[in-house]
Copies of this chain bind each other. A is one copy, B any other.
Amino acid sequence: MGYKLLLADDDRDLVKMLSGYLELKGYEMITARDGLETLKKVEENPDLILLDINMPFMDGMEVMRRIREQISCPVLFLTARAEEEDRVNGLLAGGDDYILKPFSLRELEARIKAHLIREERSRGRKMVRAADELYLDYSAREVRIGEHVLELTRTEYEIVEFLSRHPGQVFDRERIYERVSGYDARGDSRSVTELIRRIRKKTEEITDTEYIETVWGMGYRWKK
């Protein structure tokens, strides 16, 4: 969450779909449609780059080489070519991963996450204090209050992570729901009420402190 991704591909539909999906997932998206545009956008310092190999004006490999002269963030190649040779070439040019089309959104997201986490870890980030006695470990997806570990389910954890990353800001159920559930979510935002109740119930067993505040008629906010 809170990461900036650069997506470079000449397939409009793919770009639209992917960036829509990833935005929903909380990423900030920059897009480019050809090699030259990509190089220009690189100046905005994305945290990770998704790069198509076949693009007009300058192909992905060449773009790759030039990117490396500018910044050092993870680069994931997207491509339809399946040959082993290409795979090696892509990686040799300095790419960090190689994803074959067609790919599943889920797999793509998993790999993006993996690379962002690795990048973060190599920069040495670990436990983050989100409030008072409450700590988050993003890579372990773990929440602790003092010495106690909060046993949260996936969505519960997502809500805590999302809200605590924007302390003091009020979000309505709709927005929270969008962020924490998938693109293909089935239910509606009323379930956020329930999820938050469950989180509160679990924190209550450990401490009296209230972390998530109800803002009447508007939504919820993380209490700093």
Contacts and interface: CB of A to CB of B under 8 A. Distances in A.
A165 interface: no
A159 to B, nearest CB: 13
Contact of A114 (B110, B114, B178): B178
Contacts of A65: 13
A13 B184 contact: no
A147 interface: no
State the oligomeric state as a number of copies.
2
Given A13-B92, A104-B84, A140-B170, A23 B217 contact: no
Contact of A68 (B12, B154, B178, B184): B12
Contact of A105 (B88, B122, B168): B88
A71 B13 CA distance: 13
A185 interface: no
Contacts of A74: 20
Contact of A92 (B102, B157, B178, B215): B102
A139 B24 CA distance: 14
Interface in A53-105: 65, 68, 72, 74, 84, 87-88, 91-96, 102, 104-105
Given A154-B217, A217-B154, A174 B140 contact: no
A23 B141 contact: no
Interface residues of A, number: 52
Interface of A: 12-14, 16-17, 20-21, 23-24, 65, 68, 72, 74, 84, 87-88, 91-96, 102, 104-105, 107, 110-111, 114, 118, 122, 139-142, 153-155, 157, 168-170, 172, 174-175, 178, 184, 215-218, 221
15 contacts: A12-B94, A14-B92, A17-B94, A23-B118, A24-B118, A84-B104, A88-B102, A92-B102, A107-B174, A110-B175, A114-B175, A140-B169, A141-B215, A154-B216, A154-B217
